[in-house]
Amino acid sequence: MENIEKEIMEKINKMKDEIIKFHQQLVQMPSEVPPGKYRKISKYIAEKINELGMTAEIKRNNVLAELGNSNGPSLIFNAHFDTVPVFDGWTKDPLGGELIENKIYGRGAADDKACVTAEIFAAKALIDAGVDLNGKLIITAVVNEEIGGIGGTEYLVNEEIVRGDVCLLGDAPSDYPIAYTEGGFQISFNITGIRRHSMAYPDLPSPNRNKYSGINAIHKMLKIMNFLMELQEDFNKEETKYPCHPDLPSKISSVTFSMIEGGTSLTAVPDKCLLQCWISLIPEHDAENIKTKILNYIEELKKDDTDLDIFVQIPVTIGPQIAEINSDFAKIVKKSFKIVYGEDREFKLFMATDDAHLFQEKGIQTISIGPFRGESQIHAQDELVYIEDLINTTKLYALTALNYLK
């Protein structure tokens, strides 16, 4: 370890209490999407960055700042501060930011406000150490990652507001660098039936029906659900070749029935049924092929059942991310992990999606890091982040910037 690397690590260790306090304050600021009310937290993040001697900009609630110059390569730090809704079932205050036994609790504590905190204090460590960067560090704290990056990273890269050579994206499990992420797509099925008295005019086949009989939208959805379960059986037969993070059990593609709505009364034939699904795909599976298989099945159903009134939407499709693991940037990230953890850590697959693909699609090589683990309960109740993981993520950001831009 070089002296400057050691100094950066020591500075981050000394900032531990300041890092914890700032992170608690971030967690205490609601930033759920929906509804996506970000003005207060965006301003707070910008003010903190300004305190460090940089100049923060706010564009559509995304916070941007730069450090260094244009004399060399450019590195983007990326993290998001929007969160999924709180939902119910918490035993801790979801907006409390409570510090209990080296863990901070609250919605977004791990996913992904921890990485916003980490990238800011990584920059502070570089500034405090007087590091003269030979290139540009671009800090981005963005919105709307939880809804596909719309208005957040997608807006910044598509409008070329943010441009860089490489990106270190903070939104991943701890302990290993992430070079691969899943692909996937959201799909919804909306079936319309006919509401009738469920005892007098149930949805039955001939000869037990007439023109007054109901059409049960939930019954008709069952065939689609059964088809998707058969699709899952096919998925079960193929595991990914990419090494998975040890805290993530899934090595196969999966179908998740995320939400289902239907019916209005116990005594009425349901005339509506909405099923929303997320299809997670290992990098070996092609989303377009899977979508075609599902849509072809729906067309066959409609031919066989003239009473089937169905509307299918696929609003979001995300391709898998496969980063180049032998590049200079990848080697620098691996070096950062070796310094922080004292041993080599190999690249892993994260069976989830993040904003990495948005950078990759613009030719910006992206590797993900992060602070959460299985017990962090991301997207669930009692979400938490370990202080140690928060500090280690800060070090990974700082060391990567130091060695990429030195």
Opening angle at CA 95, ends 90 and 97, nearest 5: 100
- Assess contact for 36 and 142: CB atoms under 8 A: no
pLDDT computed for residue 141 by the predictor: 98
pLDDT computed for residue 2 by the predictor: 86
pLDDT computed for residue 1 by the predictor: 72
CATH code assigned to 183-318: 3.30.70.360
User: Tokens standing for 166?
Assistant: 């490489």
Full DSSP string of 298-349: HHHHHHH-TT-EEEEEEEEEE--EE--TTSHHHHHHHHHHHHHHSS----EE
pLDDT computed for residue 84 by the predictor: 97
So where are the chain's domains? Answer: 3-181+320-404, 183-318
Among the four given CATH numbers 3.40.50.300, 3.30.70.100, 3.30.9.10, 3.40.630.10, the one describing domain 3-181+320-404: 3.40.630.10
| pTM of model > 0.85 | yes
pLDDT computed for residue 22 by the predictor: 98
The ranges of the chain with pLDDT < 50 are none
